[in-house]
Each structure stands twice: as structure tokens, then as C-alpha cells.
């Protein structure tokens, strides 16, 4: 049986709490205040949050109002999504996967991993203090080993820079964060473009080849399709690209 690793202190976040210590109504309250509305990711429902509490993982720094939700694909597919509200983003992405394989395509692109963890998001109440980035990276260190992979999706447009900055690596040649490897349409909502980010310790890539503005999504898509990955965000709105081996 799969066992979650022991929680520990790290990254300046203090003690990290897990599922049994999480109040799902507080997660819902923060999600509703941060997500939803025009130009924002949709807010998860209480039923969706309970799926992460029961089958997945919710992490929270003890003294910081911040949450990170994730679940292994095999556990997600055990969930009866019909019990979720139609507006639940978790239900949306599973239904999208049934149409175009948006979740299962990760297994096809990166075969042979022991487990595939889907990241539903990181939400933080206090902005500008680096808590989101620290929790994002702490979760990777706690849950993902050499044989595992974690992935998620970020809206691909300029106002979403904080989420893009949070996910990408601080240094393109370290493994302290994720990389962007794909641009996809309609992951949750039709007509919306999303970046897929991947955290995989097996991935190897060469030196930085150049930068592309976030405004030029067609050029970004071409670079990703040609075997490059975005490894770092550069102010004010550019992505670093490295050739993937």
C-alpha cells in the first residue's frame, strides 16, 4: 500500500499540516476569495475539496493560511465525479480527460513512472511573501521521488504571472521547481489556454536557448512542440527556454 512520507519542517514554512488537520471549509473560503470570476481560475467546490482530503493530499503550513492540493491519478480515477457539482474544476478536468485525454496524456508523454500526481493548485492568503512558491517546492520535495512525477495546469496569459513565476524553477539548471512543457486548450473551461507544468527528476535539458514573451503564445507553442521547455520566468513577461534531451 502506498504510504505518504512523514511531514517535516522546512523552507521557512514551519510545521506542515496534512489531511487530518485540514478544515475543508477554510480551504473553500480561501479558494472562493482568490479564485473565480473573469480572468481567474474557477474556484473548487466543497465536494471537490473533500476528494483531496479523502483520497489525495492537502498540505498547509501550520501558521500560514495557504493550501496545496494534489492527488495521484489512480486515486482520482477511483472518484465518482457524478457526486461533484458541475462547476467543480475537478469534475471539469476529469470530464475533459474523457474527451481528449488531458490527464492520461501525461502517462503517454512520460511512461514508466511509479506514480503520477495531479496538482490542483496552491492558494495563499498573504501575497508577496513567497509563501506560495515555498509551499509549491516543499510539496515537490515531500511527495515526489526519483520514480514519480507531478503535473498541473496554469492559465497562459499575462495577468497570471504570479502562478507562472511560482511554478517555474528559480535557476534553469536546478531541480527546485517545475518546467512548462505544453500549451493546451480547454483544460477546465472551453476556449481558455493553459500551460502544463511538469516536475520530473528524470528530465534532462541543455543550455538556455533564448526567451519568448508571454504575449506570443503561438511562438511559445512552436517552441514547446519543437522539444523545448520553459524553465524560468524573467521579468517583466518572458520565459526562458531550454532544449530538452
Domain boundaries, the chain: 16-244
Q: Does residue 36 register a pLDDT over 80?
A: no
- Residue located via cell numbers 458541475: 86
Q: Does residue 40 register a pLDDT over 70?
A: no
Distance CA 65, CA 58 (A): 13
Distance CA 224, CA 158 (A): 18
pLDDT of 145 reads: 92
Upstream peptide bond of 236 is cis (omega within 30 degrees of 0):
yes
* Burial of 242: CB neighbours in 10 Å, binned 0-12, 13-18, 19+: buried
**Average confidence (pLDDT) over 84-102:** 94
**Average confidence (pLDDT) over 31-52:** 84
- Categorize the per-residue pLDDT at 108 as very low, low, confident or very high, splitting at 50, 70 and 90: very high
What's the mean per-residue pLDDT of the chain?
Answer: 89
- Nearest alpha-carbon partner for 42 in 106, 93, 76: 93
pLDDT of 43 reads: 87
List of residues 6+ apart from 107 with CB closer than 8 A? 73, 113, 116
Q: Does residue 171 register a pLDDT over 80?
A: no
CA-to-CA separations, 47 to 87, 120, 153, 174, in angstroms, rounded:
11, 14, 20, 37
Task: Report residue 64: phi and psi, to 5°.
Answer: -130, 135
* CATH node for 16-244: 3.40.630.30
Please state, as a whole number, how many other Cβ atoms lie within 10 Å of the Cβ of residue 39.
Answer: 10
Grid cell digits, residue 142:
515531500
- The answer to whether the beta carbons of residues 221 and 244 sit under 8 Å apart is no
More confident residue, 78 or 12: 78
Q: Does residue 41 register a pLDDT over 80?
A: no
- Tens digit of pLDDT for each residue in 194-243? 999 999 988 888 888 899 999 999 999 999 999 999 999 988 899 999 99
Percent of the chain with pLDDT over 70: 91
- Nearest alpha-carbon partner for 116 in 127, 107, 125: 107
- Nearest alpha-carbon partner for 244 in 184, 187, 198: 198
Q: Does residue 93 register a pLDDT over 90?
A: yes
Q: Does residue 9 register a pLDDT over 50?
A: no
pLDDT of 11 reads: 54
List of residues 6+ apart from 33 with CB closer than 8 A? 125
CA 189 to chain centre: 16
Distance CA 110, CA 107 (A): 5
Classify 91 in phi/psi space as left (phi over 0), alpha (psi -120 to 50) or beta.
alpha
pLDDT of 6 reads: 38
pLDDT of 235 reads: 86
Provide the whole-model pTM. Answer: 0.90
Amino acid at each position: 500500500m502506498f504510504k505518504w512520507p512523514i511531514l517535516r519542517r522546512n523552507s521557512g514554512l514551519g510545521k506542515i499540516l496534512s489531511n487530518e488537520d485540514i478544515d475543508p471549509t477554510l480551504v473553500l473560503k480561501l479558494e472562493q476569495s482568490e479564485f473565480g470570476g473573469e480572468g481567474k481560475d474557477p474556484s473548487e467546490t466543497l465536494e471537490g475539496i473533500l476528494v483531496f482530503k479523502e483520497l489525495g493530499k492537502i498540505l498547509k503550513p501550520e501558521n500560514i493560511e495557504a493550501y496545496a492540493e494534489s492527488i495521484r491519478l489512480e486515486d482520482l480515477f477511483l472518484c465518482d465525479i457524478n457526486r461533484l457539482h458541475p462547476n467543480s474544476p475537478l469534475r471539469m478536468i476529469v470530464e475533459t480527460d474523457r474527451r481528449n485525454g488531458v490527464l492520461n496524456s501525461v502517462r503517454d508523454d512520460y511512461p514508466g513512472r511509479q506514480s503520477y500526481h495531479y496538482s490542483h493548485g496552491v492558494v495563499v492568503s498573504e501575497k508577496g511573501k513567497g509563501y506560495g512558491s515555498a509551499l509549491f517546492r516543499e510539496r515537490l520535495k515531500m511527495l515526489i521521488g526519483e520514480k514519480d512525477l507531478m503535473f498541473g495546469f496554469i492559465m497562459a496569459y499575462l495577468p497570471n504571472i504570479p502562478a507562472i513565476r511560482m511554478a517555474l524553477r528559480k535557476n534553469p539548471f536546478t531541480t527546485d521547481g517545475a518546467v512548462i512543457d505544453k500549451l493546451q486548450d480547454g483544460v477546465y473551461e472551453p476556449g481558455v489556454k493553459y500551460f502544463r507544468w511538469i516536475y520530473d527528476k528524470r528530465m534532462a535539458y541543455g543550455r538556455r536557448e533564448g526567451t519568448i514573451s508571454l504575449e506570443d503564445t503561438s511562438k511559445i507553442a512552436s517552441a514547446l512542440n519543437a522539444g523545448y521547455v520553459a524553465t524560468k520566468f524573467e521579468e517583466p513577461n518572458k520565459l526562458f527556454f531550454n532544449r530538452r534531451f
